[in-house]
Amino acid sequence: MKLYNLYTYAFLKTPTESLKLPVGIANPLLLITAGDLSALVEPEVCLDTLQNDDECLIQAVLCHDRVICELFQQTTILPLRFGTSFLEAENLLTHLLFNAQEYQEKIEELEGKGEYLLKCIPRKLEEPVLCSESRGRQYFLAKKQHYEAQQDFYILQGSEWQNFVHVVTQNYPSTIIVPSPGAESRIYLLVNFQEEPLLIEQVLHWQKACPRWELQLGQVSPPYHFT
C-alpha cells in the first residue's frame, strides 16, 4: 500500500498578497495556514516511490531546490530539508501552532537576508622544474630545498587561514564554517541583500590578504544553513 503525504517545502509568514506558487514534484502546490504562519506543501507525494527509483529521487531533489529558490525570490522563508512531510493537514497545523513563536522569530531574523557560500581552496606550491641533467647530489639538494619551501608554505597557509577565520567571524558573527584540512573548506555567510556589493569588496580584500588560498564567492541562495 502506497502512503501519500503532505510534502512540505518551507514555512513562511502568512502572505498578505498572493504568491506565485511554482509547480512541485508532481502536483500543484498550495499554502496551509495556521494564523500568522503558513506552510508550502504538495499533496499526494509518495516518498516510498521516490526512494525506490534513483532517477526519480534525483529529479525530486532538484525540484525541491527549485521550488524553494522560486519562493525565496518572493518572500522570506524557512526552507526545509528534502523529504520533510506530514501525514495529514491536522498534523501540520498542530506543528505550526506549537512552534509558532520560534518560527516567527527565525523568519524575522532572516528578513531581507540571503545565504552566500564562500569556497576556500588551498593553493599548492608548484614543483620546481629540474634540469634533465641533474644527477646525484644536485638532484637531492633541489628536492630538499623544495621540501623545506613546501613546509614553510603550509605553515604560512595555516596562519592565513586562522587570521582569515578570525576576520570573517568578526564581520559576520553568524558565519558557519565547515573546514576541510587539505581540501576545499566552506564558509556560509548570512548577509543583507543590500550589503552584497560590500561583501564582494571584502572578498577581494580577503583574497589579497590570503594569497595561498583561492576564494570563490557564490550567488545568493535561500538560508538553508541558518534555519
CATH-assigned architecture of domain 113-226: 2-Layer Sandwich (3.30)
Long-range contact set of residues 56-60: C-beta below 8 Å, sequence gap at least 24: 59/25, 60/25
Q: Give residue-wise pLDDT tens across range 47-105.
A: 777 777 888 899 999 999 999 999 999 999 999 999 999 988 999 999 999 999 999 99
Taking only the tens place, the pLDDT of each residue in 132-155 is: 555 666 777 777 877 888 899 999
- Hey, what's the cell of 98? 506549537
Distance of alpha carbon 61 from alpha carbon 67, whole angstroms: 10
Burial letters for 192-202: b for 16+ Cβ neighbours within 10 Å, e otherwise? eeeeeeebeeb
> What are the counts of helices (DSSP H) followed by strands (DSSP E) for the chain?
6, 9
Domain ranges of the chain: 5-110, 113-226
Residue-wise burial string across 117-131, b where 16 or more C-beta atoms lie within 10 A, e elsewhere: bbebebeeeeeeeee
User: In what order do the strands lie in the sheet containing 185-192?
Assistant: 176-178, 185-192, 113-122, 213-217
pTM of the model: 0.87
